[in-house]
Amino acid sequence: MKINKNIEAIIVTLLYLTCLYFWTLPIQKNHMPYGEVDAASHYAVADYTYKSDRSITTLPYYIDKRYGEDNKFKSHTLWYPPPFHTSLAIAAVFGGESGFSIYLANAIFCSLIVLSVYFIIRRFFGFEAALISSFLLIFSMRDIMVYLWGQWPERMGFAYLPLIIYCFYKYCSSYLAKDEKPIYLYIMSLLLAINFFIHPMDFFHSVGALIITALFFLVKEKRFFFSIKHVSASIFLFLLIVSIFPFQSMNVVARLQSEGGATESIGDISRLFYWFKKPEHNPGVPESYFSYKAMIGPYWTIPLLLLGVLFLLLRRNRKDLVILAWLISLYIMVHLDFIGKGRVHRSLSGTAHIFYPLMVLGLVYLVSLIPELRYKRYIKYGLMAVFVVFMFMAVGVEASKSLKEAYGGILRINPYQYELTQWIEKSKTIPQNTEMYHAGEISLAKTRWLWMISHRFMLDSGRYDLGGNVSYVIVDYSDFALIGDQNTINNLQEWEKQNLANSSLIYDKTYIRVYEFEN
């Protein structure tokens, strides 16, 4: 389809705004923070930066108590390079608050894959393929799940891969055409360095895709397709940029040396014949996370996916090879457990980014097989429309429901707890470097959220007994009251009487009390 570039720009804007509409559903009506413990950690760094009006160098006490050793190179410093969290904090400055602002900015960052996939597929295969691929990505369940749980930088980092391989392709093509454009290589270095800052695992995905692309080009062209001078300059540029955050960059190196991967699949040949085999020991995700049908689409899409691969294999022009290299590098990343490396179930979350475009290419290829008929063009658009509608019914409806109902009810901070966190945060009575105890929590994540929003270190009663260095105790009936669990309320009241009779009550609001603890 030939399309005016201005019309296209408006369509892409509408597409991405639609994406943002869906991805912000969890915060449109309820502005309370949500997510698992990882979300709380990312929120905490951005929130503290915004509220202290200073960048973090040494971790504040309450963050340090949990993440102080997560930087394996230099303890008590940020464990991630700062750009991601600083960007969230910048959004908070514009929003004038750190709750909703962080979540809105995060929705933008985490959904950038929709734009980068649109871009590469548009440049390689045209408007329709790009539009459908990126539309489907809006509803990619695995991306949505990980986004909702809180592995935010990992989500964003994946969006850099298509742009990085695109730049590499552009440079190599210009070199082979004897019209060298090293600017693409330098932009690639910059993107690669930022990719490294956003999330190291995604950086390794990008590097893998680059290596496979380079090998494919070498086989196809049977000669070198780059200038040593340009490559050296781009490597220097990359190293220069990553050196601006030495503690965090070296943390990646230190972690690579110290961390092993899953061991259960080492040498398991059968594993290589599956895209992903559900691990025996669940890494803490629902069963559906490993299901093609639930995460990608109905099984009838598999033939389209394979057709897409076949189409690229048969044609094998440079653009096709780039996409195939992306697919193969992802295959390698999700099978690293075969050699006992990697966090493969996390790598798996990059699947839809390449599977959806391949499916669409399969469809386009299928349509191209239709003999020349008078109404071929209408058949083509009709088939594409049917495909989009069926896919939306199969995955889109469920995905938008998941976003709309995400962390409803007591699964996220309730208003009583939020009021408490605001009181604690501003409290001059409760010192910054104190230890609090949260009794009545419904989950580890709940305590973690109270801890991070209050800016005070908290122990949860699920894993710790009262005692030790605890100075303040929160007795939290709010969640149990909201779900009407009277038995647990009675037990907690009994516990409160037994343990806090000698302590002074300093906060007594609806469903929640705080005591200054006397052991």
Determine the 3-state secondary structure of 411 from DSSP.
Answer: helix
What lies within 8 Å, CB to CB, of 156 at 6+ separation is: 84, 109, 110, 112, 198, 199
Count of CB atoms situated within 10 Å of the CB of 304: 21
Give least dist CB 175 to another protein, A.
Answer: 15
Say whether residue 185 binds another protein (CB under 8 A): no
Indicate the residue among 5 and 281 with the shorter CB distance to another protein. 5
Give least dist CB 398 to another protein, A.
Answer: 22
Question: What Rg, from alpha-carbon coordinates, does the chain have?
Answer: 25
Q: Which phi and psi (to 5°) does residue 430 adopt? A: -90, 110
| Among 351, 342, 354, residue whose Cα is nearest residue 283 | 342
149 near 35, Cβ under 8 Å?
Answer: yes
Structure token digits, residue 105: 């900015």
Determine the 3-state secondary structure of 267 from DSSP.
Answer: coil
Say whether residue 116 binds another protein (CB under 8 A): yes
Question: Hey, what amino acid is at 411?
Answer: L
Say whether residue 119 binds another protein (CB under 8 A): yes
Give least dist CB 429 to another protein, A.
Answer: 27
CA angle at residue 86 from 84 to 89, to 5 degrees? 115
Give least dist CB 127 to another protein, A.
Answer: 9
Binders in 336-395 for another protein, by CB under 8 A: 377, 381
Indicate the residue among 89 and 359 with the shorter CB distance to another protein. 89
440 near 480, Cβ under 8 Å?
Answer: yes
Say whether residue 403 binds another protein (CB under 8 A): no
Which region holds residue 226: left if phi is over 0, alpha if psi is between -120 and 50, else beta?
A: beta
Give least dist CB 266 to another protein, A.
Answer: 36
CA distance 380 to 393: 20
Q: Pick from 76, 181, 220, 255: which binds another protein (CB under 8 A)?
A: 181
Indicate the residue among 27 and 492 with the shorter CB distance to another protein. 27
| Among 101, 69, 75, residue whose Cα is nearest residue 87 | 101
For residue 441, the 8-state DSSP code is -
Say whether residue 178 binds another protein (CB under 8 A): no
Site size with another protein, rule: CB under 8 A: 65
Q: Pick from 138, 198, 399, 410: which binds another protein (CB under 8 A)?
A: 198
Give least dist CB 385 to another protein, A.
Answer: 12
Give least dist CB 343 to another protein, A.
Answer: 23
CA distance 302 to 295: 13
Structure token digits, residue 13: 């804007």
Say whether residue 90 binds another protein (CB under 8 A): yes
Q: Pick from 40, 63, 115, 424: which binds another protein (CB under 8 A)?
A: 115
Q: Applying CB under 8 A, which part among 137-145, 147-155, 157-165, 222-230 lies near another protein?
A: 157-165
Binders in 227-286 for another protein, by CB under 8 A: 244-245
Q: Pick from 50, 168, 226, 437: which binds another protein (CB under 8 A)?
A: 50
Say whether residue 82 binds another protein (CB under 8 A): yes
CA 275, 278, 280, 284 torsion: positive or negative?
Answer: positive
Say whether residue 55 binds another protein (CB under 8 A): yes
Say whether residue 1 binds another protein (CB under 8 A): yes
CA distance 375 to 475: 71
Give least dist CB 85 to another protein, A.
Answer: 8
Catalog residues that contact another protein under the rule CB under 8 A: 1-7, 9-10, 13-14, 17, 20-21, 24, 28, 49-50, 52-55, 57, 82-84, 86-87, 89-91, 93-97, 100-101, 104-105, 108-109, 112, 115-116, 119, 122-123, 159-160, 163, 181, 183-184, 187, 190-191, 193-194, 197-198, 244-245, 377, 381
